[in-house]
Structure 1
Amino acid sequence: MSKIYVLDTNVLLQDPYSIFSFEDNEVVIPAVVLEEVDSKKRYMDEIGRNARQVSRLIDNLRQTGKLHEKIPLENGGVMRIELNHRSFHQLQDIFVEKTNDNRILAVAKNLSLEEETKENGRLVILVSKDALVRVKADAIGLNSEDFLSDRVIENDAIYTGYAELFVAVEVLNQFYEKGEIPISLFSTYSFYPNQFLVLKDAMGSSQSALGMVDSKRQKIKKLVFDHDHIWGIRSRNVQQTMAIELLLRKDLPLVTLIGKAGTGKTLLALAAGLMQTEDYGEYKKLLVARPIVPVGKDLGFLPGEKEEKLRPWMQPIYDNLEYLFNVKKPGELDAILAGMGSIEVEALTYIRGRSIPEQFIIIDEAQNLTKHEVKTILTRVGEKSKIVLMGDPEQIDHPYLDAYNNGLTYVVERFKDQSISGHVKLFKGERSGLAQLAADLL
């Protein structure tokens, strides 16, 4: 039996094409949702873009029939705009204020009560990204669900970029002698291109080796780079060694790093970028950018020129640069950067329309990017450039994103089968004992 799905505004603003995600069921959009979408379409951010896209999609559907009636969709379902069932009588004793959320709840509840009176009444489900709306729906006996079709992964099993294998001592000895072993030795396993493998002795000895699946998935090879340090930064754990390998490889133009706060993502990426830009001259410029998303209440407009406005947002980048350059005095970093001229710290606000060739590009806090934004960024990358996307999917400040549908997770999962990309998830915090304990406990 088909169902009736009532969509909340945030579902449409998160994914304009969510209308087509409910198979052969009926999709109902309350009239108040259209009002909320209309109020957002003037925004110049991702929410505004999605609001305008929703408006265009519904306008196109209008060409096939009347919106207050059932309009057939390509997936076999139907959609309509609900103009009735707005009575607040059922909820007036529970929710006094007639907020937009409560109006949407009222429409869904009235539809549900109407279906219950029918002999073959259908199940009415309210779909919302807002947890409190779902809680309210449950409180009034209404079925509700989160919108999950936009999720890249269904659980916490995001690709880590490496795996552990227990092998015979003879295999380890062959790996040390020849520097590689055929992947056919592990026919029961499935590997991704450029995936790291920690080979351990199956008999329990301390003997082990670190290898990497080649881009064609035919061999497991030793790491190309065996650096003790890059720009004075030493690897403190095996995942950081993996990250250094990815950051220094010229044949991997896309690298993604995921890890909690303090795992060394930004510091390692900056060190690798500086070494390849300043020491080796492999890139013309080091470009560092991050999205402008505040934590907590926004401070509002900032005074000064563009560089002065950006400074508070980019301070985490400058903190790492001060550490790398061993800055001792105030203002010394600005003088160093001005003298070098090859380091550019920028906001992602200005990246649309650019073409960025022969540069080492670092995108910090990429977990706050949507799928559309991350696509925009990756399509800016020019010839002979390398881009590093990094962040912590557990620390998201964007109102419509979570650990399962953000742009960083999207890139990791979509590119794990590609030979030009590499990924590693860092687990161990190296900032300080307190920082690691806070990341674990809080």
Structure 2
Amino acid sequence: MQKVYVLDTNVLLHDPNALFAFEDNLVVIPAAALEEIDSKKRNADELGRNARRVSRLLDSLRETGHLHDGVKLSNGGTLKVELNHKSFSKLQDVFGEMTPDNRILAVALNYHLEEKEKPEPRPVIMVSKDTLVRIKADVLGLAAEDFLSDRIVALGDMYTGYLNLKVHPGVIDEFYNSRFLTVNSLNLGYNLHPHEFVILRDEMGSSKSALLKVNGEGKKLEPLFLSNEPVWGIGARNAQQRMALELLLNDDVPLVTLAGKAGTGKTLLALASGLMKVEDERKFKKLLIARPVVPMGKDIGYLPGEKEEKLRPWMQPIYDNLEYLFDTKKRGDIDKILVGLGSIQVEALTYIRGRSIPGQFIIIDEAQNLSKHEVKTIISRVGEGSKIVLVGDPEQIDHPYLDASSNGLTYVVERFKEEGISGHITLEKGERSHLAQLAADLL
């Protein structure tokens, strides 16, 4: 039986292709949603881009028929821009104010009431990324759903980059004798990903263990090529940090993703590795550090001064880590050091489109606040001889239309896990302080 899906504005602003995500059912866009989309189309951010994309899609569909009568979609469904069913009388007593959300809910409710009068009523479903809209719909007796078709993977199923295996002690002995193992010799019944780490433990219960890494072809398990020496004064404090440094300092892995809770050392390890590669080994010409300009709470608004002064509050977490690595004593010392070196650049991601960035070690901090489109734009800027590191915590997202399962960082991790040019590690143990670890776990 065909269903009727009424789309909230935020679904289209989140993913313009949501128009085609409902198979052979009727997709209804209320006129109030078009007004909200129109108000966003001049924005210079991701919302503005998506608003313009929705406008273009609807304009192209308009060529096949009248949108208010319904037009056929390529997937067999029907799209309709709803101009009727907008009576607010049924909601007046419950939600007195005629806000855009309530106007959209009114369309869904009126459709639902109309369908109930038919011999074979179609289910009417309100689709919204807004939790409160779904709650309001439920109060009105409407079915309501989140838009989930863009989700890459459930957070608990996200690729971690390493595996714990219990094996016969003879397997561990064989590795130490031959310095490699074939993946097939483990008889796992499934394949391992390139540059995935494996911790072998004795199934008999002894302390015997080994830390190995899958090679770029995904066929062999090899020892780590790095010793556990500190990098710019930063040493690995746990197994996952050692794995992260192995990927960060490996010139054959141009794409590295690091995920983990606050305080696990993601940004610090990436910066220390970048400084070693740029300043000590001269492998790259420049260390470029950038992060998206997405506030955690209410935006502080207009900031005076030149570009560097405007960006300083947004980039302060990067400067904090650089001050720690350079062991500065006075306020302002880090600025003098960066000016003196000239090979370290800290900036926002706002102006990256159109650039080509060759021969640089690039760190993108807070990558969980990037959309799939934005992360594609960034990685496609990477030029010959560059290495890019994406760092973030999928559980700490400040972007209004992203979540742990649909953000750019998770997208890259899942899409690149089979590729021999990339590696990923999820850091789990907090090393900032005992308090920070408790906060990350309990709060």
- The equivalent of 1:393 in structure 2 is 394
Q: Does 1:65 align with 2:65?
A: yes
| Cα distance between partner residues in 2 of 1:335 and 1:109 | 62
- The equivalent of 1:117 in structure 2 is 117
| Cα distance between partner residues in 1 of 2:306 and 2:128 | 41
Letter of the structure 1 residue corresponding to residue 426 of structure 2: K
The SS at the match of 2:222 is: strand
- The equivalent of 2:302 in structure 1 is 301
The SS at the match of 1:115 is: helix
| Cα distance between partner residues in 1 of 2:430 and 2:280 | 28
Shift of 1:191: 1.0
The SS at the match of 2:37 is: helix
Q: Does 1:365 align with 2:361?
A: no
Map 1:42-441 to 2 at 5 A: 42-187=42-187, 188-441=189-442
Letter of the structure 2 residue corresponding to residue 351 of structure 1: I
Q: 1:254-301 CA distances to partner (integer Å, 9 max, x unpaired)?
A: 000000100000100000000011000000000000001111111111
| Cα distance between partner residues in 2 of 1:326 and 1:49 | 42
Letter of the structure 1 residue corresponding to residue 415 of structure 2: R
Shift of 1:155: 4.5
Shift of 1:322: 0.6
Shift of 1:88: 1.0
| Cα distance between partner residues in 1 of 2:343 and 2:390 | 20
Q: Contact 2:90 / 2:106 at 8 angstroms: preserved in 1?
A: yes
Shift of 1:330: 1.8
| Cα distance between partner residues in 1 of 2:399 and 2:18 | 19
**More divergent stretch after superposition (99-108 vs 147-156):** 147-156
**More divergent stretch after superposition (181-190 vs 367-376):** 181-190
| Cα distance between partner residues in 1 of 2:276 and 2:9 | 47
| Cα distance between partner residues in 1 of 2:330 and 2:12 | 50
| Cα distance between partner residues in 2 of 1:278 and 1:246 | 18
| Cα distance between partner residues in 2 of 1:101 and 1:305 | 39
| Cα distance between partner residues in 1 of 2:197 and 2:155 | 22
Letter of the structure 2 residue corresponding to residue 88 of structure 1: F
| Cα distance between partner residues in 2 of 1:378 and 1:358 | 14
| Cα distance between partner residues in 1 of 2:186 and 2:49 | 47
Give the aligned CA root-mean-square deviation in angstroms. 0.8
Shift of 1:376: 0.5
Shift of 1:154: 3.4
What TM-score results when the alignment is normalised by the length of structure 1?
0.99
The SS at the match of 2:92 is: coil
What TM-score results when the alignment is normalised by the length of structure 2?
0.99
| Cα distance between partner residues in 2 of 1:237 and 1:93 | 59
| Cα distance between partner residues in 1 of 2:309 and 2:17 | 39
Q: Contact 2:155 / 2:404 at 8 angstroms: preserved in 1?
A: no
Letter of the structure 1 residue corresponding to residue 425 of structure 2: V
The SS at the match of 1:81 is: strand
The SS at the match of 2:289 is: strand
Runs of 5+ unmatched residues, structure 1: none
The SS at the match of 2:156 is: coil
The share of aligned pairs that are identical, in percent, is 66
Runs of 5+ unmatched residues, structure 2: none
| Cα distance between partner residues in 2 of 1:381 and 1:424 | 21
Shift of 1:152: 0.8
**More divergent stretch after superposition (50-59 vs 172-181):** 172-181
| Cα distance between partner residues in 2 of 1:332 and 1:405 | 40
The SS at the match of 2:181 is: strand
Shift of 1:167: 1.1
Q: 1:289-332 CA distances to partner (integer Å, 9 max, x unpaired)?
A: 00011111111111111111111111100110111011112221
Aligned pair count reads 442
| Cα distance between partner residues in 1 of 2:353 and 2:32 | 33
The SS at the match of 1:109 is: helix
| Cα distance between partner residues in 1 of 2:332 and 2:100 | 50
